[in-house]
Chains A and B, each alone.
Chain A
Amino acid sequence: MRPRRVPGLAVAATLLATLGGCADAPPEPAGAGTTPGPAASVETSSGPARPTPVAPARRAPSVAQAQPPRSLTLPSGRTVAIDAVGTTPTGLLDVPADVAVAGWWEGGARLGDPFGSVLVAAHVDARAQGLGPFSELLEVDRGDRLLLESAGLRQSFDVRSRRLVPQGSLVDDSWLFDASGAARLTLVTCAPPYVPSRGGYQNLAVVTAVPLGLPEER
């Protein structure tokens, strides 16, 4: 537990540091040369009680350290892997091309954060892969359950709403990714109609779910 220190060495280092007055002085080599002298004086010294190591304060056991989400289990039971993603230089969320992998915006809330939106998005489909697992979001209902997991935590969520957000700029839709507001899971994928001449899917389906209880350790 407590680091065993040679008392003489400690005093020597202390004296040297005091006389040198330099916070950057490396104490170990400096103290080594002058150990014998002060060692005697410390044994007879009537200084304060034997020093005890400063104990690091403990994080309360009930406090979960927030973590990046790693997987999401949809109401059907299908589990989707989640990658941490950023934003491209043009402002596009960098969602993985693989429809079977979702992207979590790494600037947003994590699993276990007490506030804010955990934003997870995945492609609804791709020509080479067909419909992806997130197409299920187009059919989930209020009260359906989701399970979000990270390396060490898991938390269940309850589906509360699905909205359609017209495809385009999200500058007025910061609720999708905001660090403020109640803790929530925000799932995004594309939704019909599909109009090739106007860039493809015209809507985003946004499913919002709220936590059922606190995150638990896995």
Chain B
Amino acid sequence: MRRLVLSGLAALLAVLGLSAAGSGASSGASSATQAPGPARVTVVQAVPDASVDVTIDGREVAGGAEVGDVLGPFELAAGTHDVVFSGDGVEVASTLDVRAGTASDVVLHLPAEVGGDPVVHSYAAPDGPIGPGKARVLLAHTATVAPADVRVDGETVFTNIANGEFADADVPEGTIEVALVPSGSTEDPILGPLDVSLEASTLSMIYAYGNPRDGSMDVIAHTSPLAADGSVAPTRIDTGSAGLAVAPVTVFAGEEKREPVFLGLLALIAVAAGLGAAARLHTAARRRVG
């Protein structure tokens, strides 16, 4: 049939023409200085237990893509493109608008409801320059589960992220521990905690997918380099020249770490006050935190 022939041809041409941008083999490099260049689109398959064929503008760019597959990036001219996902139980035909010089992910995933049909969302890559010692993270909720909070190193950093939504931030380079928990909770993670290693000046696009009820929660991640913003850490700060400040300056310390101790003592004081022993403990508390 015609469609079959075309898709076979398309697959061949896809190999020849629709080269992955990451290979650096783009023959149009010479004209890149004049125009912003094509859009770069990465396709992510985040539907568990589905084998999906992906076509862009009629060309099959992947056959039998499984959950976790990250395809591309594909270079697409600015404008509107047809992106079609088809496979067992999956039939999503969509049009994608892209602007020249931009990078984005197109993600096929399930909605929050159990048994819902697959949906497609696009995620613009936040790929602006970044400061020293930082990595950028975009974390998307593409899972079959209610809204979640994101905890990083034990702190709730993002709250109430629903399916089809994302959170993004610049975070310190290094290894962070990430967990998804039900919104408003701090325990019983839906996912994780996972150790995520982040190199300085990189962007990680992370998609949480699956269903916690059947233990299929996992993440799909891909990483790309970011340009440095050119900032250099200061080695000296000089902020005065007239000698007008003369009074001795006192110092005091109150590390964040001491806060729980302080609150704990306050709670203790409150209880103790009820027992009629406030005065002595109050004095002791002040000595310890002062």
A binding-site residues for B, Cβ under 8 Å:
2-3, 5, 10, 13-15, 17-18, 20-28, 47-63, 65-66, 86-87, 90-93, 95, 105-110, 113-116, 121-127, 130-131, 134-135, 138, 141-142, 160-164, 167-171, 174, 176-182, 184, 188-192, 194, 196, 200-201, 203-205, 210
B74 — nearest CB in chain A belongs to which residue?
A23
Query: Given that A55-B122, A162-B250, A163-B251 are contacting pairs, would A92 and B93 also be in contact in the complex, using a CB cutoff of 8 Å?
Result: no
User: B57 interface residue, CB < 8 Å from A?
Assistant: yes
Are B251 and A63 in contact, with the CB atoms below 8 A?
no
The residues of A that contact B233 with a CB separation of less than 8 Å are 87, 105, 107, 174, 177
From the candidates B160, B165, B229, B252, name the one contacting A58 in the complex (CB within 8 A): B165
User: B168 interface residue, CB < 8 Å from A?
Assistant: yes
Chain B 89-110, CB-CB to A under 8 Å as 1, else 0, gives 0011111110000000011000
B12 — nearest CB in chain A belongs to which residue?
A21
Query: Given that A17-B58, A59-B168, A194-B246 are contacting pairs, would A95 and B121 also be in contact in the complex, using a CB cutoff of 8 Å?
Result: no
CB distance from B42 to the nearest CB of A (A): 13
Closest 8 CB pairs of A and B: A107-B231, A190-B240, A180-B172, A21-B13, A91-B235, A194-B243, A21-B17, A93-B234
Range of interface residues on B (Cβ < 8 Å): 35 or more
The residues of A that contact B82 with a CB separation of less than 8 Å are 10, 14, 51
CB distance from B215 to the nearest CB of A (A): 25
Are B232 and A196 in contact, with the CB atoms below 8 A?
no
Tell me, in angstroms, the Cα distance from A214 to B6 when the chains sit together.
54
From the candidates B76, B170, B237, name the one contacting A95 in the complex (CB within 8 A): B237
B246 — nearest CB in chain A belongs to which residue?
A192
CB distance from B256 to the nearest CB of A (A): 5
Q: Can you name 4 extra interface pairs (CB under 8 A) apart from A52-B94, A57-B107, A124-B244? A: A21-B13, A23-B74, A87-B232, A105-B233
Query: Given that A179-B133, A189-B240 are contacting pairs, would A114 and B169 also be in contact in the complex, using a CB cutoff of 8 Å?
Result: yes
User: B180 interface residue, CB < 8 Å from A?
Assistant: no
Are A161 and B254 in contact, with the CB atoms below 8 A?
yes
CB distance from A192 to the nearest CB of B (A): 5
The residues of B that contact A134 with a CB separation of less than 8 Å are 239
User: B9 interface residue, CB < 8 Å from A?
Assistant: yes
Are A15 and B58 in contact, with the CB atoms below 8 A?
yes
Tell me, in angstroms, the Cα distance from A116 to B38 when the chains sit together.
35
Are B235 and A125 in contact, with the CB atoms below 8 A?
no
Query: Given that A25-B77, A105-B231 are contacting pairs, would A3 and B57 also be in contact in the complex, using a CB cutoff of 8 Å?
Result: no
CB distance from A212 to the nearest CB of B (A): 12
11 cross-chain CB contacts under 8 A:
A21-B18, A24-B77, A48-B84, A60-B160, A114-B155, A114-B158, A121-B239, A162-B249, A162-B252, A194-B245, A204-B237
User: B115 interface residue, CB < 8 Å from A?
Assistant: no
Interface residues of B in 147-202 (CB under 8 A from A): 152, 155, 157-162, 164-174
The residues of A that contact B34 with a CB separation of less than 8 Å are none
User: B54 interface residue, CB < 8 Å from A?
Assistant: no
Query: Given that A18-B9, A114-B157 are contacting pairs, would A126 and B239 also be in contact in the complex, using a CB cutoff of 8 Å?
Result: no
Are A169 and B121 in contact, with the CB atoms below 8 A?
no
Are A200 and B241 in contact, with the CB atoms below 8 A?
yes
From the candidates B131, B167, B244, name the one contacting A130 in the complex (CB within 8 A): B244
B81 — nearest CB in chain A belongs to which residue?
A27
Are A54 and B94 in contact, with the CB atoms below 8 A?
yes
The residues of B that contact A91 with a CB separation of less than 8 Å are 232, 234-236
User: B279 interface residue, CB < 8 Å from A?
Assistant: no
From the candidates A14, A54, A95, A127, name the one contacting B122 in the complex (CB within 8 A): A54
Query: Given that A24-B75, A131-B245, A142-B252 are contacting pairs, would A107 and B93 also be in contact in the complex, using a CB cutoff of 8 Å?
Result: no
Are B121 and A138 in contact, with the CB atoms below 8 A?
no
The residues of B that contact A163 with a CB separation of less than 8 Å are 251, 253
